[in-house]
Amino acid sequence: MNLDQAKKLRKGDQIHHIEYKNSDGTPQRYRITSIKTWKTRPDQIRLGIGRGLYEHYYITEEELKFYDIGYGS
């Protein structure tokens, strides 16, 4: 995923990790919980993502290359 695709995401959309797989072989899915952009730093983004009840992470523009837009978006 690139920066422009990430900026078009909305809360509730799904993204998939390219390398991490579930036990059945499907890619791990994450739900977008928040999107942070800055007017003074247009080349930066911070996405809040969640998986299940207890897994919550932040990813930045540097980690976008490991994620792909989900089919349910």
Cα 71 to Cα 48: distance, rounded to the nearest angstrom: 19
Residue-wise pLDDT for 29-51, tens only, equals 999 999 999 999 999 999 999 99
Of 35 and 70, which is predicted with more confidence? 35
Structural domain boundaries enclosing 58: 3-69
Residue-wise pLDDT for 6-28, tens only, equals 999 999 999 999 999 999 999 99
Among the residues of 1-73, which ranges form H helices? Answer: 3-7
Prediction pTM value: 0.85
Residue 71, pLDDT score: 61
CATH number, residue 21? 2.30.30
Number of domains within the chain:
1
pLDDT at residue 73 tops 50: no
CB atoms within 10 A of CB 12: 10
